Amino acid sequence: MEAASGYRRLTSSGTTDLTSYSLRNGLEFLDLATRSLRIPEPSALEQAVLNLHVAAEILVQCPSRANPVAVGRRRREPDRASYERGEVRSVMLRGAIRQRTADRCVIQPPGNRLGPLRTRLTEEASVTPDGIALRHSTVIDDVWNTLIEVYADVRADQLHLPHYSVERFGEQLARHASDPGWEVVIGYDAEDPVGFAYANSLTPDDRWWRRMTTPLPDGCTETPTVAVKEIMLRKPWRGQGIARLIHDELLRDRPEAQVSLLVNALNGDRKVKALYESWGYERISTQQPSVDDPILTAMLRRTRPASQSAG
């Protein structure tokens, strides 16, 4: 009954009201999905996807208000039966989320990117002997543009590849930032962000463990673990130990007993994996997060060396 009444409300509205209603409700869901990832009830999800579908099909008829998700599509009004069965185009939702992520991935010009936040963080920053300020954050909106900027610079020669696109990274970043225990450390050389590392806490049944292709050491998944999801450093600052400093600062006050990360063993002529091994990481398995991802080596070590933990 609710589905039928909802369908009648949509199809009985005028074009302008219908478009406004569809976009408003659809984008409200998108904002929820991309920022907090708290998925509503299935009926609300189906309603939001249908709203986007209807709006896109209407807007494609209005060139001056064209929706990039709907460009090139033929108009087809959803029928009542498909609405009631929930047979909506989830691809519309994925496309809209990708477009919204792309909109959020706009890289700002150089300057004081953190604005008033910089003053507050300056007192909280650790400073390395080389003058690199290491700043923590647990609020993704405060550091979003900075992380995207660094990523785009580090991956500049790979951004044309789907797996390394800015949009793909933005989707991944939004997802990771909603996970428990998310934290990032960004290194700054004066006003320039030079690199970052971020991590999440893992649960015993986390997909991180479930994706492993071989059996794990006894007790591995039950031991409190933090996963370092990304470590990035811009080229002018490489070879100076800064990546290790950012990594260690990120782990310095973490409560977890062990830390895990993934690495493409072929990256940097195998030098990246060797670098992590020099930091104390050991191989425990492999995984392939998605079908278009390379096979990655999973590594593990204590969060802090034994001598450091004892002190």
Per-residue pLDDT tens over the stretch 189-199: 999 999 999 99
Q: Which of 20-34, 58-72, 263-277 has the highest mean pLDDT?
A: 263-277
pLDDT greater than 70 at residue 48: no
DSSP result, 9-73: HHHHS-HHHHHHHHHHHHHHHHHHHHHT-----HHHHHHHHHHHHHHHHHHTT-GGG--TTTTTP
- The tens digit of pLDDT for each residue in 156-197 reads 998 998 888 999 999 999 999 999 999 999 999 999 999 999
Determine the Cα angle at 42 with ends 36 and 46, to 5°.
95
Q: Can you give the pLDDT at residue 33?
A: 52
Are 282 and 300 spatial neighbours (Cβ–Cβ below 8 Å)? yes
Higher pLDDT, 72 or 254: 254
**What's the average model confidence in pLDDT over 209-236?**
96
Q: Which residue has the tokens 């290790």?
A: 244
What integer best gives the mean pLDDT of the chain? Answer: 74
Q: How confident is the model at residue 299 (pLDDT cuts 50, 70, 90)?
A: very high
pLDDT at 129: 80
